[in-house]
Structure 1
Amino acid sequence: MNKKKLLISSIFFILIISLLTTGCVKESDSKEESTITIEDMANRKVKVPTNISKVYATNPSGTIFVYTLDPDSLIGLNYEFTDYEKQFVDEKYRKLPVLGGWFGKNSTGNVEEILKYSPDLIVNVGKIDETSISASEKIEEILQAPVIMLGDNIEEISEAYEILGKVLGKEKRAQELAKYSNDILKEAEENSSKIKEEDMKKVYYAEGPKGLETEGNGSRRMKVLELVKGENASKSVETKDKHGKTNVSLEELLMWNPEYILVGSDPDKGLNVKENILKDPLWQDIEAVKNKNIYEIPHGPFNWFDRPPAVNRLMGIKWLGNLIYPEVFDYDIKEETTKFYKQFYNMDLNEEQIEMLLSN
């Protein structure tokens, strides 16, 4: 009888252990299935959740990638849109909280606020090197969420979309944007190959409140000009750091004598560099000023040429190419603008908005 009881007890014990073990395995399997491993553009293997609904980007370039791919997943912005910029942003996203970011000089994200939103994923877009990899790892630790790194070179846009699309479960949308990006770059390459060296237009990029800050050759901020085969008037300038905006003198500018001047103005800040240049008697001997070939870079909600260096530059390629080589980059810019804003921002521009963008 005792042997029988012992046998029953042993069987019962084994059954309990078996059930407990099975439960542990299932829980472990479930945990494994809740994440996938992604290789980002820094060749880092990153474990990310399979279902992501809350994304924070460390800088405006990253925010633009997420905004154009899956805007509903964005938990916040890096800076507040100006009143002018808000006209080109869906009302749904205008009031997203401003969480700051790791970009520009001496800027950091608002860690306390970001943590309140418990992001599932952090997107860090920029130049990929040891410094940025180290920074991403620190951000990952601070924000307690996985960080994927994406490059910000214009040629890397399609790859960045493909990786981000896989992470966010938006592969189809990502492929559409990647193809559009590649098509623009391929078209730019074909068009620029038709321009002879001796026919290249000399262009000066006027930055800063007085227009006397600029970028030298090799700066990523001049990529749009490079892709349409324009000559950088300030090519001899040495770009001192990644933030650019190297000071130059008016004497240097007179010596370079550009045929075109591009400026970035901000009406909300009362800054109109173009108007100031046209009024200033010291600029009047420059060919671009004489011929009134000074143009404000379209901006809304993001600059088409630079700052931030993101997908917004794709439209800048068509705009600038058509501006300085209209016979080669032969586009109906209004039509191209309408297409681009629909494709990337899911926005149907009205005639007034198109005029605002192109009234340069």
Structure 2
Amino acid sequence: MRRIKYFMLTCVTVGCMALTGGCQGARGEGVAKEKSEESVITEASRDEKGIGKEEIVIVDQLGKEIVLDGVPERVATTIMPFPYIYYAVVGNSDHLIACNPSSLLAYEDSALKYMYPELAHANTEFVDTSFVVNIEELLKLEPEVVFQWNYMEEEIAKMEAAGIKVVALQYGTLEDLETWIRIIGKMFDKEKRAEELIAYFHDSVGEVTEKIDTLSLEDYKNILIMSDNLKVNGSGFYEYYVGKSGAVNPAQDLSGEALNVNMEQIYQWNPDIIYIGNFTSMQPSDIVGNKLEGQDWSVLDAVAKGQVYKIPIGGYRWDPPGVETPLMVKWLAKIQHPQLFEDLDMRKEVSDFYKEVYGFELTEAMLDEILNDTQDF
């Protein structure tokens, strides 16, 4: 709780975010239902179960207003990282009734399965991994609201034509993540909780950037983030944690993700460190052991020094922006600048984070699952 107390003393400009106990106290039925002044749900509007009954108005990332009759009890999402962000804000809940099948694939490999067993029962038959919805299957679930990507315009129109309320979300930036957290917070009467999470996020990352700011750009590491074999991520993706951790992406002149490149280009970049994303089955040993047919990785500095890592899975994959991005920033900084972060114990950081953010105590075996599979050679 040290960081939370520190934030209360130093970040008063955020306003009214009484963090003491906040990140741990948002779990269970006994959670205090304190709200910001902007909340449209009043204590008088609650029934005996504590569920809000007055209208809730959400503005999504298409600028569209969605009016709900109260806190929804039947929620579906096509968006893969949504369940663990939902859990961080809301806690254990049977209200998330359906999700993307890819979410449950990640769930089985993640720490979320220990914290949120209810999610295992979520329906995945209504949507495929490309976010296309089967309306007939979705209607059977009788959702009160569905979350969908903002660029899936035809899918949104299809659901709305069937009388389903849809909240459109946008992916990519830290600001987008904060918007997700605030939308979830407002929808589920957790606005104070949402602001606590956002404040904790910035406070935690700030511990890293305070040290990174002492470096010159010449000290930054040249890192390559691979989404799959000979596919890299360029500018516009993950720039936040690359810069915050004291690194530069040699593919930053390219725009987009999962961009096809050849070995000649990778030789030219010659990265200090290679990170392999968690949306691919490719492992560090495939590169270090030169197991990829027709490719010779042995001449790269990163390979010669054994600096090839698999990005971890915590509550979800650490690749995209999420509530565990502060851990991603710290993990990267520790690898890239070991002397500067000599005192940074990632096992303790992850353990403390889970206690403070999720109110959950990881076992040593669970910590091993998160951190020990990053190198397999």
User: In structure 2, which of residues 123, 128, 133 is the aligned counterpart of residue 109 of structure 1?
Assistant: 133
Distance in 2, matches of 1:136 and 1:45, equals 18
Asked whether 1:284 is paired with 2:298, we answer yes
The answer for the alignment partner of 1:215 in structure 2 is 233
The answer for the alignment partner of 1:263 in structure 2 is 276
- 8 Å CA contact 2:220, 2:248 repeated in 1: yes
Unaligned runs of 5+ in 1: 1-32
The answer for the alignment partner of 1:98 in structure 2 is 124
| 1:29-108 pair list within 5 angstroms | 34-70=54-90, 71-72=92-93, 73-79=95-101, 80-81=104-105, 84-85=108-109, 88-89=112-113, 90-99=116-125, 101=127, 104=130, 107-108=131-132
Distance in 2, matches of 1:85 and 1:165, equals 27
SS of residue matched to 1:206 = strand
User: In structure 1, which of residues 247, 250, 273 is the aligned counterpart of residue 260 of structure 2?
Assistant: 247
Q: How far did residue 55 of structure 1 move?
A: 1.2
Q: How far did residue 237 of structure 1 move?
A: 3.0
Distance of aligned partners of 1:51 and 1:234 in 2 relative to their CA distance in 1, 3 Å threshold: closer
Q: Percent identity?
A: 24
Q: Partner amino acid for 2:288?
A: L
Distance in 2, matches of 1:86 and 1:196, equals 36
Q: Any idea what the Cα deviations from partners look like across 1:191-218, whole Å, max 9, x if unmatched?
A: 432221111100011221xx3110112x
- 8 Å CA contact 2:111, 2:370 repeated in 1: no
Q: How far did residue 86 of structure 1 move?
A: 5.5
Distance in 1, matches of 2:241 and 2:179, equals 19
Q: Any idea what the Cα deviations from partners look like across 1:110-150, whole Å, max 9, x if unmatched?
A: 322222221122223x5x6xx45x45751541453322334
- 8 Å CA contact 1:158, 1:179 repeated in 2: no
From the two aligned structures, give the one with the greater helix fraction: 1
Asked whether 1:274 is paired with 2:257, we answer no
Distance in 2, matches of 1:313 and 1:326, equals 19
User: In structure 2, which of residues 307, 311, 326 is the aligned counterpart of residue 314 of structure 1?
Assistant: 326
SS of residue matched to 2:98 = coil
TM-score by length of 1: 0.76
User: In structure 2, which of residues 251, 270, 292 is the aligned counterpart of residue 234 of structure 1?
Assistant: 251
Q: Partner amino acid for 1:333?
A: M
Distance in 1, matches of 2:167 and 2:106, equals 29
Distance in 2, matches of 1:154 and 1:196, equals 24
User: In structure 1, which of residues 217, 221, 224 is the aligned counterpart of residue 241 of structure 2?
Assistant: 224
Distance of aligned partners of 1:154 and 1:328 in 2 relative to their CA distance in 1, 3 Å threshold: farther
Q: How far did residue 109 of structure 1 move?
A: 2.4
- 8 Å CA contact 1:225, 1:232 repeated in 2: yes
SS of residue matched to 1:342 = helix
The answer for the alignment partner of 2:317 in structure 1 is 303
Distance in 1, matches of 2:161 and 2:142, equals 12
Distance in 2, matches of 1:354 and 1:333, equals 10
Unaligned runs of 5+ in 2: 1-52
- 8 Å CA contact 2:132, 2:155 repeated in 1: no
Distance in 2, matches of 1:325 and 1:300, equals 22
Q: How far did residue 174 of structure 1 move?
A: 2.0
Q: Partner amino acid for 2:307?
A: N
Q: Partner amino acid for 2:118?
A: K
SS of residue matched to 1:354 = helix
The answer for the alignment partner of 2:168 in structure 1 is 149
Q: Any idea what the Cα deviations from partners look like across 1:225-246, whole Å, max 9, x if unmatched?
A: 133231102223343xxxx211
Q: How far did residue 318 of structure 1 move?
A: 1.6
User: In structure 2, which of residues 295, 301, 308 is the aligned counterpart of residue 294 of structure 1?
Assistant: 308
- 8 Å CA contact 1:227, 1:317 repeated in 2: yes
Bigger CA radius of gyration = 1
User: In structure 2, which of residues 170, 184, 188 is the aligned counterpart of residue 168 of structure 1?
Assistant: 188
Q: Partner amino acid for 1:277?
A: I
Distance of aligned partners of 1:265 and 1:216 in 2 relative to their CA distance in 1, 3 Å threshold: closer
TM-score by length of 2: 0.72
Q: Any idea what the Cα deviations from partners look like across 1:300-319, whole Å, max 9, x if unmatched?
A: 4421123xx43343321121
User: In structure 2, which of residues 214, 220, 226 is the aligned counterpart of residue 206 of structure 1?
Assistant: 226
Q: How far did residue 179 of structure 1 move?
A: 1.9
The alignment of Structure 1 onto Structure 2 pairs a total of residues equal to 309
The answer for the alignment partner of 1:197 in structure 2 is 217
Q: How far did residue 328 of structure 1 move?
A: 4.0
Distance in 2, matches of 1:322 and 1:341, equals 19
Distance of aligned partners of 1:86 and 1:265 in 2 relative to their CA distance in 1, 3 Å threshold: closer
Distance of aligned partners of 1:313 and 1:35 in 2 relative to their CA distance in 1, 3 Å threshold: same
Q: Partner amino acid for 1:168?
A: F
Q: How far did residue 327 of structure 1 move?
A: 4.0
Q: How far did residue 222 of structure 1 move?
A: 4.1
Distance in 2, matches of 1:92 and 1:274, equals 33
Distance in 2, matches of 1:172 and 1:101, equals 32
